[in-house]
Structure 1
Amino acid sequence: MPDPTTPHPGATQPPPPQNPFAAPPTHRLRVVVADDNPVVRAGLTALLSGRPDIEVVAEAADGRQAYEAAHQHRPDVVLLDVRMPGVDGISALPYLVQIAPVVMLTYSRESEIVQEALRRGAGGYLVHGEFTADQLVDAVRDIKEGRAHFTPTAAGALLAQLRQDRASTPPLPEGLGRTSSATAYGIPTSVQSYTQSQPAVPSAPFSPSTASPAPTSPENLSQVQPHVGQSSSGWTSGRPAAPDRSRFQLSTREAEIMDLIASGMNNQQIAATCFISEKTVKNHINRIFAKLHSTSRSEAAAKWIGTAPDTHRGLG
């Protein structure tokens, strides 16, 4: 006689009981990556998508695409480059922050651009070559929670602005030490000064055709740095491109690696960004040095960005 406690072979097995102490499934942090360099976009997407709690839901090549992607996917965080063709990152920034927190992730390191990005609502500013992969992931997670992140160059620009504001602050009213709040005298703290200088949120929807800048000073990025509407391929670490780079006769890959060298990246970071081995990076660098008649990274970078003494006199 069969055991009544043994289930019939064809019977449906009941699901196993759920563990009441198991952690609930976590929400994956959704990210939009906006950068006009497809290699950088691919590298960032691969790096972030490799984390179990992060998902890159869309990529964008300029500010217009970034806004459209953010509007469609409603991400938790937007990674935004500064210099992109068409609608640049600074112009798109006030519209994007209405949808999700934005962290600038760029080679542009000028203090004026860092300060303008903060005025327009950026929640952080990271300069390529100044952070590790883990630090980037931590920054993305923290930006979602409202915790700002700045790499050393951006932090220095912010500190310089705060010092400048402090130098222009009038003497404190007499008796200030007897009150518990400086705001009683109308004196904003350093954080409040940036908050109060934020532009009003644009009331009109983002218009890709007009890309109206936020009502801040300077009115748009082109007044901060010329040629902003041009592709970032003409820029290296936020500095103007050297004239007539064609004379160096670098291949497309060598020019890309030279851009990364000039931005301050080491061989390991370049290999990760370009998805090649460090040995291949070294081989490229040897050929680059030969073509630029350089014996060091700093010498090659100076010639590439146009600051070497012999830049305009030929290679010699």
Structure 2
Amino acid sequence: MTVRPSIPAPRPREETAAVPDQTTPNPFEGFPQPAPAVPLRVVVADDNPVVRAGLTALLSGRADIAVVAEAADGRAAWEAAQQHRPDVVLLDVRMPGVDGLSALPYLVRIAPVMMLTYSSESEIVQEALRRGAGGYLVHGEFTADQLVTAVRDIKEGRPHFTPTAAGALVARLRRDQPVEGAIAHDHTFPTSHETATSAQHLSQLQSDVGQSLSGWTGGRPAAVDRSRFQLSAREAEIMDLIASGMTNQQIAATCFISEKTVKNHINRIFAKLHSTSRSEAAAKWLGTAPGSPRGLG
């Protein structure tokens, strides 16, 4: 009997990971890759540290905006703009040392500038625009979302004005607009071309202002809804002074009360505003805190 040798069963084939051929060209090589989004860079210039902190917190809370520097006066704003080369500068008017209007012509050479201020006088609005401001927002007339939209639009060259600023601009345009058929100071009539050109200029600017106002609550100031805080008249007065940057000693002198009384009022104010610091309370009072239902005061 012949014994045949046994044949071992074949081993299961081991699976090996496919190794790409290093000589095969990458089919995606040479295609442009999407660049990471670069946030819009902003410099905030205001002499009130509470306002600066509130604006910085509000804007920095947006994914596409970064506050790269803060400044307390016009010179510091110019130095910050020189260093950081921002996309937009938010500029207050009244500041110690070099004020906003004085710094404005130098700042606009670096970046678009939007005035963001309590100063609503017609002459100041007009002078700011004459010196190159790309927009003019008056505190208390816009919401937090409107501010963010304005910052984005200013970068793209789209102007924004709150109602008070827009009213000042339109009033000036109407005052400068020659009336058809009226006798000029030199007793000559404007030519039809001059009248048409001026009217076209006024129409275009009024259109720009109208577009700017289209999102600003129908052209009416968007006052901050502070009634929800249920502050007394005295507490509201003191909260206004806190938001303006006053110390307890200054508030006591202004209101003719003791510092102890001021502290008692502030404790009650903090409780009603659910805040633990002056900056947090001021941000809620001014409308700059994230989630504030109505704008900035």
Smaller-chain TM-score bracket: 0.5 to 0.7
Which residue in the other structure is 2:15 paired with? 3
Matched, 1:87 2:98: yes
Which of 235, 241, 256 aligns to 1:247? It is: 256
What's the secondary structure of 1:2's corresponding residue? Answer: coil
Deviations 1:37-72 (A, max 9, x none): 111111111111111111111000100100000000
Task: Find the aligned partners of 1:192 and 1:132 in 2 and give their Cα distance.
Answer: 26
SS of 2:256's equivalent in the other structure is: helix
Highest CA radius of gyration, 1 or 2? Answer: 2
Query: What per-residue deviation string (whole Å, max 9, x for no partner) do you get for residues 116-172 of structure 1?
Result: 100111000001111111100000000001110000111111111112112678749
Partner of 1:182: 196
Distance 1:54 1:36 in 2: 22
What secondary structure does 1:189 align onto? helix
Q: Aligned partner of 2:196: which letter?
A: A
Contact 1:33 1:44 in 2 (8 A): yes
Cα separation, partners in 2 of 1:193 and 1:5, compared to 1, 3 Å:
closer
**Cα distance change of structure 1 residues 67 and 268 upon mapping to structure 2, 3 Å threshold:** closer
Give me the TM-score of the superposition, normalised by structure 2. Answer: 0.59
Question: For the residues of structure 2 that align with 1:21 and 1:134, how far apart are their CA atoms?
Answer: 34
Q: Look up the match of 2:121.
A: 110
Correspondence for 1:53: 64
Q: Deviations 1:213-251 (Å, cap 9, x if unpaired)? A: xxxxxxxxxxxxxxxxxxxx8x98xxxxxxx72425574
Q: Is 1:70 aligned to residue 81 of structure 2?
A: yes
The aligned amino acid for 2:256 is: R
- Pair 1:169–1:101, CA change in 2 (3 A): farther
User: Once the 2 structures are TM-superposed, how far is the Cα of residue 182 of structure 1 from its aligned partner?
Assistant: 3.4
Amino acid at match of 1:78: V
| 1:129 corresponds to | 140
Paired residues, number: 211
Q: How does 1:213-252 map to 2 (within 5 A)?
A: 245-247=254-256, 251=262
C-alpha separation between the residues in 2 aligned to 1:154 and 1:174? 29
Matches within 5 A, 1:1-316: 1-5=13-17, 24-166=35-177, 171=182, 176=192, 182-183=196-197, 189-190=201-202, 245-247=254-256, 251=262, 269-270=284-285, 272-273=287-288
Cα 1:95–1:269 change in 2 (3 A) is same
With over 3 angstroms needed to count, the CA separation of the structure-2 counterparts of 1:251 and 1:66, relative to structure 1, is farther
Residues of 2 paired with 1:96 and 1:130: CA distance?
Answer: 25
Q: Percent identity?
A: 63
What secondary structure is seen at the aligned counterpart in 1 of 2:177? helix
User: 1:266-285 CA deviation, whole Å, 9 max, x = no partner?
Assistant: x995164479999xxxxxxx
Q: Over aligned residue pairs, what C-alpha RMSD do you find?
A: 4.2
Letter in 1 for 2:15: D
Q: How far, CA to CA, are the matches of 2:111 and 2:180 in structure 1? A: 33
Report deviation, 1:21. Answer: 10
Aligned 8 A contact 1:39 1:273 in 2: no
Measured in 2, the distance between the counterparts of 1:97 and 1:104 equals 11
CA contact (8 A) 1:33 1:41 kept: yes
Moved more, 103-112 or 268-277: 268-277
Q: In structure 1, what is the Cα distance between the partners aligned to 2:41 and 2:65?
A: 6
Aligned partner of residue 126 in structure 1, secondary structure: strand
Cα separation, 2, equivalents of 1:5 and 1:123: 60
Q: Do the aligned residues in 1 keep the contact of 2:45 with 2:91 (CA within 8 Å)?
A: yes
In 1, Cα distance between the equivalents of 2:257 and 2:153?
42
Contact residue 35 and residue 60 of structure 1 kept, 8 A:
yes
Structure 2 contact 43–70 (Cα < 8 Å) conserved: yes
Shift of 1:193: 9.4
State the AA in 2 paired with 1:247.
Answer: F
Match of 1:295? none
- 8 Å CA contact retained: 2:144, 2:288: no
Unaligned 5+ runs, structure 1? 8-16, 195-232, 237-243, 258-266, 279-316
Q: Do the aligned partners of residues 142 and 274 (structure 1) sit closer, same or farther apart at CA in structure 2, a change above 3 Å counting?
A: closer
Q: What is the alpha-carbon distance in structure 1 between the residues aligned to residue 61 and residue 55 of structure 2? A: 10
Q: Which residue of 1 aligns with 2:9?
A: none
